[in-house]
Chain A
C-alpha cells in the first residue's frame, strides 16, 4: 500500500464503486425534474411525492411480504440441510448437497423461464406465492452455505456433554446448538432477505399482477418526471441497507464475543 500507484488505484476503485450511489441523495434533494448538473437548489418535494405514491406503498408491502417469507423459509430449509450434512452420513450425500447448491450458479434467467413454463403448464396462477417459490429456490443455497460453516465450527463434544448431563437431543438442540449457531441464522436471514428484496428477473417473470419494489422502480424509470422521486426512494433504501448491515455486524460481533472466538472478518 506504500506505493502511490497502488494508493491511486485504491482511491479510483472506491470512487468508481461509490460515487454513483452518492449521486442518489444529491439528486433526491435537487429542485429540478432533470437529472443533471448544475444542481438547482434544495427541496424535499420528491420525498413528499414518493411518500404519497400509493402504488409505491403497495409494491413495498408486496416486497416485504416476499422477502420476509423467503428469508424465514430459506433459513429453515438451510438449517435442516446444514445440520444433516455436517452431522450425519447418508447415501449420495455429495450429490444431494450439490443439487441443493446448484441454483446458486444457475443463470436466474433460465430458472425464471423454466419455472414460468411449468407454473403455466400446471395451471398455477402467478402471484406473490410464485415469486416466493422462485426466491426460496435461489436463496436456500446461500442459507445452506452460511449455516454449514456455523455448524462446522461447532465442537461436537458440546452436544455430547449436554446429552451426558441429562438433556434429550431436542432440548440439546434448543439449549446448546441453536444459541451457538444464532449468529449464522441471523446472517442467513439478512442475506436471504436482501437477495430476495432486490431480485428482479424472477419477480418480473413470476409476478403476475402484483408489483414488487424492484419491478416498480424499473417501471418508473420510463417516465422522466418520476425519476427524482425514484432517487428519493433510492436514498431511503441506501440508508435502510446501511442500518441493516450495521445491525448484522453488531450481532455477528456479539456472537463471536459470546463464544470467545477470534474475529476473522465477517461474511457481510
Chain B
C-alpha cells in the first residue's frame, strides 16, 4: 500500500493488559480525509485502539503507522494526531481562548498571529466572542466545541474523537453530528470517531469498523455494513434484522439454492452469502424494510407469502408489524412507512407479504 492510500495503518496490532487480550490482531487502513468510525459494544477494544493511535497506550506487538510513519516509540506529544476526549478535558482554570490556544504555546508565531488563529478556530466551531469566558461556565455542547477548536487549531493529520457526543442530550447530539460532518468536510482532516451508537456511526461515517472482543468483525462503508453484514453478530448490532432458519439444497457455481419455511425455495447469489452460521445451520436474514405488506393495488414484488399480523406498533411516521408467515414459528418484523391513504392494519388480520430474494443475506 502506498503512502497516499493510508493515513492510518494497523499491522496485526495486539494489546495485552496482563492476561487480558484487549486487541487481537487488528489489521486495516484508514484513508486520508476519511470520516472513519470504530463501532462496537463497550469493552470491544475500540477506545483502546483509538488510544494506540494517540500514543496513550503502548501496543504489545504489531505496528501502528500514521501517514506512513511507524509510531513505535513516538510519545503522544510528538504525534501528528489530536484528540477530543469523552469528558472534553477542558482545563478548568483557563479561559476559553487559553484553552483553545494551549497547543500553540510552543508555536514560534507572534502573539497577534496566535490570537488570530484562536479567533478563527472559535469562529469555525461557532463560538465567536466566547474567548474571554471562563471554561467552567460553559454548557456541555459549548465545551465540546472548545475541545474541537483546541484540537483542530494544531491542524493535525488525524483528529481522534472518543465518544464525543455520548454526554449530550438527543437533540444536541443530532445537531453536533451534523456539525461534525460539516466541520470535517471543511477542514479535510481525517476524523476517527469511537462510538457505541450504530445510528451515529451510520449517519456520520464514510467507513466503519465494527469491533467485537478485540477484533474487527467487518470494515466497510455504512451501506455495505447495513445491507451485507458479514455475520449474524454484525447484522444484529447494526439495525434490526429478522433471522429465519434455512436449509441449503444445492450449491452451484456463484449461487446457492436454499429452502426456508414460509418462503419456499430461494435462489441466492454468492455475494449474498456470508459466514456466521449458528448451531442450527444456515440462517436467512431480512431487514424489516425489505419486507412489504401488500395492499390492493400495491406494486407487485418478486415473491409473496401469506401471513397473520400478531402485533402492531404505531410510531406516527412508521408502523412496525410483527407478523407470522404461514409455516414459520417465529414472527418477523416489518416496518411500513405510513404514507397518505395507507391504512394501519389490525392485529389478527391476514396480509400478503412481498419480498425479493435479492434483499436477503444468507449466513452459513
Chain A interface residues (CB < 8 Å from chain B): 155, 157-158, 160-168, 176, 179-180, 258-260
Contact = CB atoms under 8 A, between A and B. Distances in A.
Interface in B67-119: 75-78, 81-83, 85-87, 89, 91-93, 102-103, 105-106
Contacts of B106: 166
A167 B92 contact: no
Interface of B: 54-56, 75-78, 81-83, 85-87, 89, 91-93, 102-103, 105-106, 134-137, 150-151, 154
Contacts of A163: 55-56, 75-77
Contact of A160 (B56, B103, B150): B56
A161 B83 contact: yes
Given A155-B87, A165-B102, A165-B150, A258 B75 contact: no
A157 B93 contact: no
A259 B76 contact: no
A246 to B, nearest CB: 23
B91 A161 contact: yes
B86 to A, nearest CB: 7
A157 B92 contact: no
B139 to A, nearest CB: 12
Nearest to B153: A165
A161 B78 CA distance: 13
Given A167-B105, A260-B134, A158 B91 contact: yes
Name, among B78, B83, B134, B154, the residue most crowded by chain A CB atoms within 10 Å (CB to CB).
B83
B77 A167 contact: yes
B75 A176 contact: no
Contacts, number: 65
Contact of B85 (A161, A167, A258, A259): A161
8 contacts: A155-B89, A157-B89, A160-B76, A162-B102, A163-B76, A165-B150, A166-B154, A260-B136
Contact of A164 (B82, B91, B137): B82
Contacts of A260: 92, 134-137
Given A160-B56, A161-B83, A162-B102, A168 B89 contact: no
Nearest to A166: B77
B152 to A, nearest CB: 11
B123 to A, nearest CB: 20
B247 to A, nearest CB: 53
Contacts of B76: 160, 163-164
B149 to A, nearest CB: 12
Name, among B82, B89, B136, B150, the residue most crowded by chain A CB atoms within 10 Å (CB to CB).
B89
Contacts of A155: 87, 89
Contacts of A162: 91, 102
Given A166-B77, A166-B105, A157 B91 contact: no
A260 B77 CA distance: 27
Contacts of A157: 85-87, 89
A168 B78 CA distance: 9
Contact of B93 (A160, A165, A167, A180): A180
A180 B94 CA distance: 10
Given A160-B76, A165-B77, 18 more contacts: A158-B89, A158-B91, A160-B54, A160-B56, A160-B83, A161-B89, A163-B75, A164-B82, A165-B151, A166-B154, A168-B77, A176-B91, A258-B92, A258-B136, A259-B92, A259-B136, A260-B134, A260-B136
